[in-house]
């Protein structure tokens, strides 16, 4: 898959970023969300450098990702439990049916 550069703007600076063909919209969306978070941090913490703001944003995004991963793991566990219960119920019903047929 080929890539080409697209421009994004973060905290008033423009960056040229290599982007795979067809992923431009996704990268723009991510850049817009990052810009919102960077701007919010800059407003709340005027005395931080660009680097410190970027680190804080990365930590916030990392935390949000960790929370979502935990939610997914919890959901997967719930579904596994429900599937196990369903399998057990079906097996019991089949056993009951086979004993009634005898």
Token digits of residue 34: 């990052």
- The full 3-state SS of 33-80, as one line of letters, equals HHHHHHHHHHHHCCCCCHHHHHHHHHHHHHHHHHHHHHHHHHHHHHHH
| pLDDT tens-place string over residues 90-101 | 999 998 888 887
Instruction: Tell me: pLDDT of 2 over 90.
Output: no
* Average pLDDT for 84-93: 95
Instruction: Tell me: pLDDT of 29 over 80.
Output: yes
Of the listed ranges 46-50, 81-85, 90-94, the least confidently predicted one is 46-50
């Amino acid at each position: 898959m080929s890539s080409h550069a697209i421009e994004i703007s973060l905290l008033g600076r423009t960056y040229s970023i290599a982007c795979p063909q067809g992923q431009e919209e996704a990268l723009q969306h991510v850049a817009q969300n990052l810009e919102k978070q960077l701007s919010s941090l800059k407003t709340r913490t005027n005395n931080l450098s660009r680097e410190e703001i970027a680190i804080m944003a990365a930590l916030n995004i990392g935390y949000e990702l960790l929370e979502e991963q935990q939610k997914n793991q919890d959901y997967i566990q719930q579904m596994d439990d429900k599937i196990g219960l369903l399998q057990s119920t079906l097996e019991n019903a089949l056993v009951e049916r086979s004993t009634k047929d005898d």
